Each structure stands twice: as C-alpha cells, then as structure tokens.
Amino acid sequence: MATRNDIPNNSVIGENSVFEGRFYVSGSILIEGKFDGEIKTEDHLTVGPTGKVKTDIYARKVTVAGTLIGNITASEEVDLLENGKILGNINTPKLNVESGVLIQGMVTITGGQSENVTQVIRQSFGEEVESLISSTERAVKKEKPKEPKPEPE
C-alpha cells in the first residue's frame, strides 16, 4: 500500500483534512483526506488508503489505494492498489491492477501511442475492421446498466 513513507511527497492532504478548490502542485502529492475540486501535477499523485477524492486527475503517474470519483489521465502509468475504488475513466500508457480493485468506467491503455487507439487498431487489422468495431460498440452500449425507473406512488 502507498503510505507517506513509500514516496517522497511535496504536498500532503492529511487523513482528517478536507480541501475544496483548485490545487496545482509542483512535485508529488499524497491525499489521505478528502479532496473535491481540480488538481494537476506533472509528477506523482497518490490517493492513499483513507483518501476520498472527487476530481479529474492529470498527472505523470497516479496511484489509487483509496476512493476516487473522476477520470484519470496519466502520461506515464497508473497503479490501482488492493482496496482502490474508482468511478470514472482511465487513460494511460501503462496500467497495473492489484486483486481487490473496484472500477466502473472505460479504460484506454495507449501503450505510449500518440495516435487514437481505435485508428491504430483499424490500420493494424485491415478493411473488415469497420463492421467489427461497429458491432463491438453496439455490444458495449447494450451492456451499460439501465437506471431503475422510480416506483409509482
């Protein structure tokens, strides 16, 4: 698990702390408390085991051991640790997932490609890929859970 001693952090939001607003960090940050707002760092962002974060994260590297509601865009790598919980999308060249992680969202692993992943796959697979991609996109849309209708009173 990511702890305060595992990674040198320039900034820490402690376990019993609450931060709301914009936070632009020069260096790494560890969030053990609650954070709601906008956060960016060009280094490493860690949501610790007690962290509860509601934001879109933009960082070089992201580690989640706590709870995140929001999207992750990492330029290098994302690590999802044992008890990590995420409601949101992930876009990263490399993804590491431990057993016990909960996630709901779309995951795009770019493998370091700067091009659109779908376009790279189209070029690699060949012409007949259009019908396959269309049927896959339809299947993904069908799998989305429908919101329950309210009970009539």
Answer whether 79's CB lies under 8 Å from 70's CB.
no
pLDDT at residue 134 in the model: 66
Q: What is the DSSP string of 95-124?
A: EEE-TT-EEES-EEE-TT--S-HHHHHHHH
Domain residue extents for the chain: 11-112, 113-144
Answer whether 19's CB lies under 8 Å from 13's CB.
yes
Q: Is the pLDDT of residue 10 over 90?
A: no
Nearest to 72 by CA among 50, 52, 95: 95
- Mean pLDDT on 54-77: 96
Predicted TM-score (pTM) of this structure: 0.75
Q: Is the pLDDT of residue 56 over 90?
A: yes
- Mean pLDDT on 25-53: 94
∠ CA 26-28-34, rounded to 5°: 105
Q: What is the DSSP string of 5-35?
A: TTS--SEEE-TT-EEEEEEEESS-EEE-SEE
Q: What is the rounded CA–CA span in Å between residue 109 and residue 76?
A: 11
pLDDT at residue 110 in the model: 86
To the nearest whole number, what is the mean pLDDT of the chain? Answer: 84
